[in-house]
């Protein structure tokens, strides 16, 4: 079986990647450029495809909205692309303008060239319904996944299966007669081999964004920062009041390797879920944080016990006051904190890897 994974990266990360690697990118071919991109360990990188390979099947990745990378593929395959977008497509509207003229045209040719059994869209909403219809017409199986707010539900009807880390979203898809299955996120253990060993630098961190879909989390982190020191990393600093402790202790955006480095340097790290997650624990930070050996302080959810043992592998909190109390307690009880952190890391290494997740995916195909 052969699976083609189609990625759609944050434009903010792609801008950062280009600015940090401009000279290297200018003189590399498609293969080297893609390797350099995945070596940044952004998002799920090539973790899904590597998990498939470890399970004895073929897999390949395409980052459909990295136009510099895709232009190289097109050029190396004798394609003449006449219209190029600006380097940063700042919105979905901007992306939509160029879908047919470049992103989808190249992707469609790549699909035919690779001829996979399955096209796995990691962000199916970024592509047009007409493209998906053509992919479907050519007898390719389409898989999608989603665990964040849905902007447009139409495309999911073209998927043969939709995986979600949110049990509530699985149920919502099934009610619409869309085949859907639960699939939690995971951690890739090889990350620990790709980043130098780190000394602990931060007592407690928060790594994540401030945005309109995190209103509860925005308020939580702002309130907690008034009482205890949090070193904060991520996007959305501009949403914070300039006079707030959270703003003053915000160190800016970190992506990929830099994010993992911060987690490796953290004794403890705070996790909070997107508002729409409701009563379910589902985000990827659960596994990134524990995988890196930080003690995870995460919002209490009814399914957390299915993933980790509370107070033994992770520590849950119920509100801002509870979180403040627990940060203070584990700051003053480092041996207990480190014991929980190590237990959480062992659990993630045992049960929450992409090799295991892809084994589950393959059972449904």
| Per-residue confidence in pLDDT tens, the chain, 365 aa | 999 999 999 989 999 999 999 999 999 999 999 999 999 999 999 999 999 999 999 999 999 999 899 999 999 999 887 655 554 455 566 655 665 578 899 999 999 999 999 999 999 999 999 999 999 999 999 999 999 888 778 999 999 999 999 999 999 999 999 999 999 999 999 999 999 999 999 999 999 999 999 999 999 999 999 999 999 999 999 999 999 999 999 999 999 999 999 999 999 999 999 999 999 999 999 999 999 999 999 999 999 999 999 999 999 999 999 999 999 999 999 999 999 999 999 999 999 999 999 999 999 99
Strand 161-164, strand 141-145: pairing: parallel
Q: Report the C-alpha dihedral over residues 288, 294, 300, 306, rounded to 10 degrees.
A: 60
What domains lie within the chain, and their CATH numbers? 2-183 (3.40.50), 191-351 (3.40.50.2000)
3-state SS assignment for residue 240: coil
106-111 LR contacts (CB < 8 Å, sep 24+) = 106/64, 106/70, 106/73, 106/74, 106/79, 106/81, 107/6, 107/62, 107/64, 107/70, 107/131, 108/134, 108/135, 109/74, 109/77, 109/79, 110/4, 110/62, 110/73, 111/4, 111/135, 111/138, 111/140
């Amino acid at each position: 079986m052969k699976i083609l994974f189609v990625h759609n990266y944050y434009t903010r990360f792609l801008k950062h990647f280009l600015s940090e690697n401009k000279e290297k990118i200018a003189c590399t071919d498609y293969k080297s450029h893609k390797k350099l991109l995945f070596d940044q360990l952004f998002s799920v990188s090539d973790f899904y495809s590597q998990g498939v390979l470890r399970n004895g099947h073929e897999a390949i990745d395409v980052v459909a909205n990295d136009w510099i990378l895709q232009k190289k593929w097109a050029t190396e395959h004798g394609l003449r692309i006449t219209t190029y977008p600006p380097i940063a497509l700042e919105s979905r509207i901007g992306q939509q303008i160029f879908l047919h003229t470049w992103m989808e045209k190249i992707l469609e040719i790549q699909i035919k060239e690779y001829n996979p059994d399955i096209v796995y869209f990691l962000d199916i909403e970024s592509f047009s319904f007409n493209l998906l219809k053509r992919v479907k017409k050519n007898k390719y199986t389409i898989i999608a996944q989603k665990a964040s707010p849905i902007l447009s539900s139409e495309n999911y009807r073209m998927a043969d299966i939709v995986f979600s880390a949110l049990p509530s979203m699985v149920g919502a898809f099934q009610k619409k007669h869309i085949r859907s299955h639960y699939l939690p996120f995971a951690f890739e253990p090889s990350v620990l081999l790709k980043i130098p060993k780190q000394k602990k630098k931060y007592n407690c961190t928060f790594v994540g964004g401030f945005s309109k879909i995190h209103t509860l989390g925005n308020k939580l982190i702002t309130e907690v920062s008034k009482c205890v020191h949090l070193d904060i990393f991520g996007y959305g600093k501009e949403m914070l009041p300039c006079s707030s402790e959270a703003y003053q202790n915000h160190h800016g955006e970190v992506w990929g390797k830099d994010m993992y480095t911060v987690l490796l340097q953290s004794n403890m790290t705070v996790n909070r879920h997107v508002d729409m997650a409701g009563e379910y624990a589902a985000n990827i930070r659960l596994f990134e944080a524990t995988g890196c050996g930080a003690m995870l302080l995460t919002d209490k959810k009814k399914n957390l016990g299915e993933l980790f043992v509370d107070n033994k592998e992770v520590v849950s909190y119920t509100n801002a006051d509870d979180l403040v109390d627990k940060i203070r307690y584990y700051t003053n009880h480092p041996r207990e904190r480190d014991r929980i952190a190590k237990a959480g890391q062992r659990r993630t290494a045992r049960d929450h890897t992409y090799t295991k997740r892809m084994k589950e995916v393959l059972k449904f195909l």
